[in-house]
A and B are shown apart, each in its own frame.
Chain A
Amino acid sequence: MSIFNGLAAVEEEILKCMKCGNCQAVCPLYKESRQEPAVARGKIRLAAAVLDGRLKPAETLARRFDLCLTCLACVATCPSGVKVDRIILAARTAMVREKGLPFIKKTAFTGLSRPHLFDLGIKTAARLQGVFFKRLEQEKMQPRFPLGLELRRIVPPLASVPFRDRVAETHKVERPAATVAFFTGCMTNYLYPEIGQATLRVLKAHGVNVIIPRMQHCCGAPLLYNGAADMAREMAKSHVDLFGSIRARADAIITVCGTCGEAFKHLYPELLDTTPGYGKKAREVADRIMDITRFLYRLPFNPNLFRAPELSITYHQPCHLGRGLGVVQEPLSIIRSIAGVIYQPLKEPGRCCGNAGSFSLTHYDLSYRVLAHKLRDIKSSGAQMVITGCPACRMHLNDGLTQEQMPQKAVHTIEFLAGILAER
């Protein structure tokens, strides 16, 4: 049974929790609040209480399940191997099914689930954004009005032309070493087209053909992580169809965002398991999903294409990329294989930056407090630049770095690589 069909699917998982409390040592939210409902153990007990009928779904209860970054730190440390994220997602889905979504989320998710409307809406917004945001510099904007965003928050401007509208659908090289399909994700498409461009350039330098299927849209992760599984099903199906059809032509389906990767790799197969005609197909697509750094690492990566960077760097490991997809060593290995790179590690590279997608919208204050730990770590690393493998982490880090007036800038690993390509 799928976790998106009710809490019963995670009964075993709940039972496995021996209540040892070890998750307290690593939960970023518990470290801030020091209250039991914030930690995995607390939320698991709540899920248990719902399952055996002692608690009824309620908006107040849903709020407790919302209090989780799905950062997987607890999962990695749990002696019993409890998959806490599965319990949280099952509980959120169960809450939404009983109580519905809050109005704002419902509106936003409806938008995301209708690709054409969403695309049009964003393009319109890109034209109008000056009305609502003031531009601080090239890449940074601050809301003029509280648009459901904190006024102090620094966000990137929407791209005037989205990435996928800027580039061709296929990019061929002579005598290709491999062919990949590229799933760009929304943030790369609408906020950071430079991440997409960088991906193309580095892949091209390595002699890789790239296909960017036109019909792709939002992976649906924001919906799946917020319990709106029913709305996400069609989105998942269309991507499984789309990438399933080019699977045979592509050696891998590349992502540049750990969360998109998680959606394809782990959530789609779960979501579509019992959907007629989709179970097997979703698993086949999942098998081809690969983070850009893992793909390059296995290609193999050619360090001679790059020249030494001017700045010393550090690396922040995105939760879904590291603990979710298991991409831990690859980005570091490829970066460190380049001659002249000065890498100054963080003390806790895998600690969540606090963004967690929509969590930073609904809980900005808490999200920023979690970020503060990361900023301190960056500061004491002494590095001059932060590299990370996820556009959302990149945004959150830059928000904090700007607000704290720190000199470092955060960029995606692939942007960093594209920036030091020897032949331009």
Chain B
Amino acid sequence: MSIAQAIEALRRELGDENVITAVEDLFCYSYDATADLPEQRPDVVVTPENVDQVVKVVKIARQFHLPVYPRGSGTNLSGGTVPVKGGIVLSTLKMNRILEIDPSNLTATVQPGVIIQDLNNAAVQYGLIYPPDPGTVATATMGGSVAECSGGLRGLKYGVTRHYVMGLEVVLASGEVVRYGGKTVKNVTGYDLVRLFTGSEGTLGIITEIIVRLIPAPQARETMLAGFNDLAGAGNAVAGIIGAKVIPATLEIMDRVTVETVENYARVGLPTDAAAVLLIEVDGIPEVVKSEAEAVKRVVVQNGGWIKTAENDEEREKLWSARRAALPALARRKPTTILEDATVPRSKITDMLLALEDIGRRYNLVIGTFGHAGDGNLHPTILADARDEEEMKRVRGAVEEIFRTALNLGGTLSGEHGIGIAKKKFLPWEAGKAGMQVLKKIKQALDPDNLLNPGKIVDLEEDRA
């Protein structure tokens, strides 16, 4: 049984227009947004238009023993969509319909290829929002973000993707279609498999329909920018704000390297002598927003910082543009950008920031750190040049040490970018031996032939060998 026969079968079932085999095109499915990973071409790319076609793909994959790599927009940062073992890449981008927005149940039902921003644009017409907003809202798919359990800038108050997924339709490795959850707020029927598939990175099943929770758009918001002369002040302010019983929607931090780089690049008026800058946004009912903003200002001043408040939309936009410029500005300093997302408990944010500065010094690397301080989810961004093998060695050393530090501080390897291939070898550090066994048993139970996204999160082969 050859690849050619499999492709033949795929063409028969899906039509020529949904089967891509030209070598130039296959090249374009051999990577995702992850840096420092080898590319690998699939044998074929399919673009199914509905769940029946997805089932057909899985059945053909079974018959010909070909792996299936689900792919949304390919913006993940852990190698989740790279077809390391060749086979079939299944692009969900043609399944891109918003099936329903149900304002009375506050839900939306979408196909996996819908772009997050498109859902938001549709929801806003009902005065509703879908809060999870990764940096890639304008490009990432709902399927990909559910499979990665993406976070974003509003995680502190609003939570992450898993807090919004209510129901899923999934095509299993067996080719069967299952549905779990639904539109009800409460559901304890059986194990919570919606949560299991959320964040499973395409290794347990292919998501073909998603029901998510929407919430009313906040009526008011206030945006502030605070600066500190020392990291500890910023870290204490983060703790202090939460301590004052204020949960901002956004509580973002940028370190000295990032602030300097942003200012050099975008000239948004940031003081380059600040050790750290916080972007804070509180939202909700106008009166509450007002009193929360007052509390934030008090805490910032108590911790030796200064604070600016946006008086109108234009000023708000300006404050945000500083934060939005973080990645672009850093990315322009050197050709290769390695974006990590080690995460620690919020109380350890100062320790983590100091440790990152220290790691940058010891490995002689430029590391700019920004991220979701309120969630303890930092994005240390290492700037390098992939052509410089010696430097890349230091990068890999630094990355390992970042992970180790995060774990020592009671944190986790990945807050939102997932394990994929990139962090696979570190997973045992966090999960432990028994923990790894459980992960493998889950994978084995749902995908005994290792057809779905093989080579990601856990390896089954090494045990068999």
Which A residues are within 8 Å of any B CB, using their own CB? 12, 15-16, 18-22, 24-25, 34-37, 42, 45-46, 49, 54-55, 60-61, 64, 79-81
Chain B residues lying within 8 Å of A45, measured Cβ to Cβ, are 27-28, 30-31, 39
* Listed A/B pairs (19) with beta-carbon separation below 8 Å: A15-B386, A16-B331, A16-B335, A18-B33, A21-B32, A21-B33, A21-B75, A24-B75, A34-B47, A34-B113, A35-B20, A35-B25, A37-B24, A37-B25, A46-B27, A49-B27, A64-B25, A79-B332, A81-B331
Interface contacts (Cβ under 8 Å), in number, total: 88
> Which residue of B39, B138, B387 is within 8 Å of A15 (Cβ)?
B387
Q: Once bound together, how far apart are the Cα atoms of A54 and B28, in whole Å?
A: 13
Known: A19-B35, A79-B327, A80-B337. A37 touches B28 (CB 8 A): yes
Type the 1/0 row for B24-53, where 1 means its CB is closer than 8 Å to any CB of A. Answer: 110111111111000100000001000000
**In contact, A79 and B331 (Cβ under 8 angstroms):** yes
> Which residue of B24, B75, B91, B386 is within 8 Å of A46 (Cβ)?
B24
Q: Once bound together, how far apart are the Cα atoms of A91 and B288, in whole Å?
A: 57
Instruction: Judge whether B22 is part of the interface by a CB distance below 8 angstroms.
Output: yes
**In contact, A81 and B328 (Cβ under 8 angstroms):** yes
Chain A residues lying within 8 Å of B138, measured Cβ to Cβ, are 22, 25
**In contact, A80 and B331 (Cβ under 8 angstroms):** yes
Nearest chain B CB to A382's CB is how many angstroms away?
Answer: 19
Known: A15-B336, A16-B335. A21 touches B28 (CB 8 A): no
Q: Once bound together, how far apart are the Cα atoms of A61 and B22, in whole Å?
A: 10
Instruction: Judge whether B73 is part of the interface by a CB distance below 8 angstroms.
Output: yes
Q: Once bound together, how far apart are the Cα atoms of A24 and B75, in whole Å?
A: 10
Q: Once bound together, how far apart are the Cα atoms of A191 and B258, in whole Å?
A: 52
Nearest chain B CB to A326's CB is how many angstroms away?
Answer: 17
- B25 to A, closest residue via Cβ: A37
Q: Which 10 A-B pairs have the closest CB atoms?
A: A79-B328, A42-B28, A25-B138, A36-B28, A34-B93, A21-B75, A15-B335, A80-B331, A37-B28, A24-B139
Find residues 97-140 in chain B having any chain A CB closer than 8 Å to their own CB.
113, 117, 136, 138-139
Instruction: Judge whether B96 is part of the interface by a CB distance below 8 angstroms.
Output: yes
Chain A residues lying within 8 Å of B47, measured Cβ to Cβ, are 34-35
Instruction: Judge whether B94 is part of the interface by a CB distance below 8 angstroms.
Output: yes
**In contact, B73 and A21 (Cβ under 8 angstroms):** yes
Q: Once bound together, how far apart are the Cα atoms of A21 and B31, in whole Å?
A: 11
Chain B residues lying within 8 Å of A21, measured Cβ to Cβ, are 32-33, 73-75, 136, 139
**In contact, A34 and B24 (Cβ under 8 angstroms):** no
Q: Once bound together, how far apart are the Cα atoms of A60 and B29, in whole Å?
A: 17
Chain B residues lying within 8 Å of A16, measured Cβ to Cβ, are 331-332, 335
**In contact, A19 and B32 (Cβ under 8 angstroms):** yes
Q: Once bound together, how far apart are the Cα atoms of A244 and B267, in whole Å?
A: 37
Chain A residues lying within 8 Å of B332, measured Cβ to Cβ, are 16, 79-81
Given A18-B337, A46-B28, 10 more contacts at CB 8 Å?
Answer: A18-B336, A21-B73, A21-B75, A22-B139, A34-B96, A35-B47, A45-B39, A46-B24, A79-B327, A79-B331
Best-buried of A12, A20, A22, A81 by chain B (most CB within 10 Å) = A20
**In contact, A60 and B32 (Cβ under 8 angstroms):** no
Q: Once bound together, how far apart are the Cα atoms of A19 and B387, in whole Å?
A: 16
- B338 to A, closest residue via Cβ: A18
- A36 to B, closest residue via Cβ: B28
Nearest chain A CB to B257's CB is how many angstroms away?
Answer: 17
**In contact, A60 and B335 (Cβ under 8 angstroms):** no
Nearest chain A CB to B83's CB is how many angstroms away?
Answer: 13
Q: Once bound together, how far apart are the Cα atoms of A35 and B27, in whole Å?
A: 12
Chain B residues lying within 8 Å of A79, measured Cβ to Cβ, are 327-328, 331-332
Known: A34-B94, A80-B332, A80-B337. A19 touches B28 (CB 8 A): no
**In contact, B386 and A18 (Cβ under 8 angstroms):** no
Chain B residues lying within 8 Å of A49, measured Cβ to Cβ, are 27
Q: Once bound together, how far apart are the Cα atoms of A400 and B27, in whole Å?
A: 35
Q: Once bound together, how far apart are the Cα atoms of A21 and B94, in whole Å?
A: 17
- B117 to A, closest residue via Cβ: A25
Chain A residues lying within 8 Å of B136, measured Cβ to Cβ, are 20-22
Chain B residues lying within 8 Å of A64, measured Cβ to Cβ, are 24-25
Chain A residues lying within 8 Å of B327, measured Cβ to Cβ, are 79
Nearest chain A CB to B459's CB is how many angstroms away?
Answer: 25
- B327 to A, closest residue via Cβ: A79
**In contact, B33 and A36 (Cβ under 8 angstroms):** no
**In contact, A36 and B139 (Cβ under 8 angstroms):** no
Nearest chain B CB to A88's CB is how many angstroms away?
Answer: 15
Nearest chain B CB to A202's CB is how many angstroms away?
Answer: 34
Q: Once bound together, how far apart are the Cα atoms of A34 and B74, in whole Å?
A: 12
Q: Once bound together, how far apart are the Cα atoms of A20 and B381, in whole Å?
A: 14
Nearest chain B CB to A331's CB is how many angstroms away?
Answer: 23
Q: Once bound together, how far apart are the Cα atoms of A45 and B332, in whole Å?
A: 19
**In contact, B75 and A55 (Cβ under 8 angstroms):** no
Find residues 299-332 in chain B having any chain A CB closer than 8 Å to their own CB.
327-328, 331-332
- B20 to A, closest residue via Cβ: A35
**In contact, B32 and A55 (Cβ under 8 angstroms):** no
**In contact, A60 and B24 (Cβ under 8 angstroms):** yes
**In contact, A25 and B96 (Cβ under 8 angstroms):** no
- B39 to A, closest residue via Cβ: A45
Chain A residues lying within 8 Å of B139, measured Cβ to Cβ, are 21-22, 24-25
**In contact, B337 and A36 (Cβ under 8 angstroms):** no
Chain A residues lying within 8 Å of B91, measured Cβ to Cβ, are 34-35
Nearest chain A CB to B266's CB is how many angstroms away?
Answer: 12
Nearest chain A CB to B167's CB is how many angstroms away?
Answer: 25
Known: A12-B335, A18-B336, A81-B332. A55 touches B24 (CB 8 A): yes
Nearest chain A CB to B86's CB is how many angstroms away?
Answer: 15
Nearest chain A CB to B417's CB is how many angstroms away?
Answer: 13
Nearest chain A CB to B228's CB is how many angstroms away?
Answer: 26
Chain B residues lying within 8 Å of A36, measured Cβ to Cβ, are 25, 28-29, 74
**In contact, A80 and B93 (Cβ under 8 angstroms):** no
- B332 to A, closest residue via Cβ: A81
Q: Once bound together, how far apart are the Cα atoms of A36 and B113, in whole Å?
A: 14
Best-buried of B28, B31, B32, B75 by chain A (most CB within 10 Å) = B28
Nearest chain B CB to A18's CB is how many angstroms away?
Answer: 5
Nearest chain B CB to A201's CB is how many angstroms away?
Answer: 39
Chain A residues lying within 8 Å of B336, measured Cβ to Cβ, are 15, 18
Q: Once bound together, how far apart are the Cα atoms of A177 and B224, in whole Å?
A: 49
Chain A residues lying within 8 Å of B20, measured Cβ to Cβ, are 35
Chain A residues lying within 8 Å of B75, measured Cβ to Cβ, are 20-21, 24
